[in-house]
């Protein structure tokens, strides 16, 4: 390879170990050493972890800077990833409608193209609109966008649409459903009372023999996206409470579930038994709606298909959820012709961001140049791609991108500002410790 002592096959192997097999950078280097030893070598003919890292990032930079992917039928999926510190990064994935309509299942990482990895210190509607306009010059005007409609994303898309009224905006179905569930559950006076009772119950159970029955800890971020965990716990805890009362337990369960203690700690759930049944139906109705749109996308008949789920609903709240979601979907899909479809879920993007956080973990969850690995994670790593990317994108290009795009991360500021004090250095030297 130009500028590298390693051939494309070796570089491809090491990158796939990190991206596809979730092996750490150091472990990938060591694996290649072991393979070299098994092949009769000295065990030293492999890239070091820093070299592997640079290869991954150079490929990622090559992918987001390509100028040969301009087309007029892109569908853009985007969201922000927020790490420690003030920097936010807009991640934009794209798939053409032609490619999307050929799919036979939900989107995967390799179905998408990363077209934008854009870190910023401040994000609002105007900033997001400017970011989308910059991507437009490189990749063309999209047919549609799909996002969770966070405040800055929603405003940015609206500003972008003013000059491009043909661009459609779609709402991620999971976020849409969860927002509607939130509007149904939170006005219920028993819901807030139940959640407070769960917190008290968790405090009692945490250090007891019934710790395995502890309610889930409520999420501090996007709490409405995690209501299902809290409701499922109540349903399952009531089921085990009933089994304890009836004596329908295995020998092992009888030993760890003393009836008096179980009733003392979980008996309070009887007050919520009827409401838990209603909440469960609401939650699983929402899951049914999400699954419908996740697998088939948004189509001209999606709202009608959602309304058909009412055939299986029993409580008023489930009917209300179906009506609310169908009413929100209808205007989004009215411009779709028969046979046309567009993605309805950004879960594949959230999954990719989660994969990126694994690759970012060693940097203290601070946003660093490793964010480029997200782009590399969406493509099939082949020798042809490795040769093309590393021939075009050299280390000087990677360094230049980092200098122009990123500011020093939290880990750098911590190292500079929380260095050892004079007193600590003197003490170390006097005691001969490090």
Q: Is pLDDT at 2 greater than 80 in this prediction?
A: no
Helix (H, G, I), strand (E, B) or coil at 187: coil
Question: In this predicted structure, what is the pLDDT of residue 202?
Answer: 92
Characterize the bridge pairing of strands 144-147 and 168-171: parallel
DSSP string, 205-217: HTTSTTGGGPPPP
pLDDT tens, 358-403?
Answer: 665 544 456 678 888 888 888 899 999 999 999 999 999 999 988 8
Model confidence at 106, pLDDT cuts 50, 70, 90, reads confident
- Closest C-alpha among 303, 304, 309 to residue 285: 309
Q: Please, what is the angle between helix 49-64 and helix 8-19, to 10°?
A: 90
Please give the helix or strand (H or E) that residue 146 lies within, else none.
Answer: strand 144-147
pLDDT over 60 (residue 224): no
Residue 22: per-residue pLDDT = 83
What are the backbone dihedrals phi and psi of residue 146, each rounded to the nearest 5 degrees, phi first?
Answer: -135, 125
pLDDT in the model for residue 200: 92
Give the N- to C-terminal CA distance of the chain in Å, as an integer.
Answer: 42
Question: Once rounded to an integer, what is the mean pLDDT over residues 189-203?
Answer: 92
- Distance, in Å, from the CA atom of 292 to the CA atom of 416, rounded to the nearest integer, reads 51
pLDDT band at 420 (very low <50, low <70, confident <90, very high): confident
Question: Which part of the chain is CATH 3.30.420.10?
Answer: 74-170+346-378
Helix/strand/coil (H, E, C) string of 56-68? HHHHHHHHHCCCC
Angle between helices 316-333 and 173-185 (to 10 degrees): 140
Q: Does domain 74-170+346-378 have CATH number 3.30.420.10?
A: yes
Q: What per-residue confidence (pLDDT) applies to 141?
A: 93
Euclidean distance between CA atoms 333 and 168, whole angstroms: 9
Stretch 60-85: mean pLDDT: 85
Q: How far apart are CA 304 and CA 299, in angstroms?
A: 10
285 near 320, Cβ under 8 Å? no
**For position 239, what pLDDT does the model report?**
95
Mean pLDDT check: name the lowest of 43-47, 76-80, 245-249, 383-387: 43-47
User: 178, 181, 201: which is closest to 272 by C-alpha?
Assistant: 201
pLDDT score of 77: 95
């Amino acid at each position: 390879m130009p500028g590298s002592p390693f051939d494309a096959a070796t570089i491809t192997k090491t990158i796939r170990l990190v991206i596809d097999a979730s092996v750490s950078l150091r472990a990938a280097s060591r694996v290649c050493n072991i393979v070299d030893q098994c092949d009769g070598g000295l065990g030293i003919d492999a890239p070091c972890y820093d070299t592997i890292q640079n290869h991954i990032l150079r490929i990622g930079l090559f992918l987001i800077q390509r100028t040969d992917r301009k087309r007029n039928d892109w569908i853009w999926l985007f969201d922000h990833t927020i790490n420690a510190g003030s920097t936010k990064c807009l991640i934009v994935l794209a798939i053409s409608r032609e490619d999307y309509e050929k799919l036979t299942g939900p989107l995967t990482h390799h179905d998408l193209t990363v077209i934008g990895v854009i870190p910023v210190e401040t994000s609002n509607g105007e900033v997001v609109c400017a970011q989308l306009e910059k991507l437009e010059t490189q990749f063309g005007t999209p047919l549609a966008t799909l996002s969770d409609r966070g405040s800055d994303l929603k405003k940015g898309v609206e500003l972008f649409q003013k000059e491009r009224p043909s661009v459609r905006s779609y709402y991620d179905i999971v976020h849409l459903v969860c927002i509607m569930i939130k509007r149904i559950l939170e006005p219920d006076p028993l819901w807030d009372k139940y959640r407070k009772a769960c917190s008290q119950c968790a405090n009692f159970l945490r250090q007891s023999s019934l710790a395995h029955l502890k309610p889930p800890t409520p999420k501090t971020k996007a709490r409405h996206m995690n209501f299902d965990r809290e409701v499922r716990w109540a349903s399952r805890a009531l089921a085990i409470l009933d089994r304890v009362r009836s004596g329908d337990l295995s020998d092992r369960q009888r030993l760890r579930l003393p009836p008096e203690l179980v009733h003392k700690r979980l008996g309070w759930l009887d007050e919520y038994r009827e409401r838990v049944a209603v909440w469960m139906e609401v939650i699983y109705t929402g899951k049914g709606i999400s699954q419908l749109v996740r697998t088939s996308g948004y189509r001209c008949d999606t709202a009608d298909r959602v309304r058909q789920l009412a055939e299986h609903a029993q409580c008023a709240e489930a009917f209300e959820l179906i009506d609310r979601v169908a009413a929100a979907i209808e205007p989004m899909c009215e411009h779709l012709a028969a046979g046309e479809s567009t993605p309805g879920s950004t879960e594949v993007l959230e999954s990719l961001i989660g994969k990126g956080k694994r690759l970012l973990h060693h940097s203290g969850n601070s946003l660093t140049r490793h964010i480029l690995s997200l782009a590399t994670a969406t493509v099939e790593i082949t020798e042809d791609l490795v040769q093309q990317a590393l021939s075009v994108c050299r280390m000087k290009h990677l360094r230049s991108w980092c200098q122009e795009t990123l500011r020093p991360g939290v880990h750098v500021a911590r190292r500079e500002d929380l260095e050892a004090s004079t007193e600590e250095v003197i003490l170390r030297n006097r005691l001969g410790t490090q």
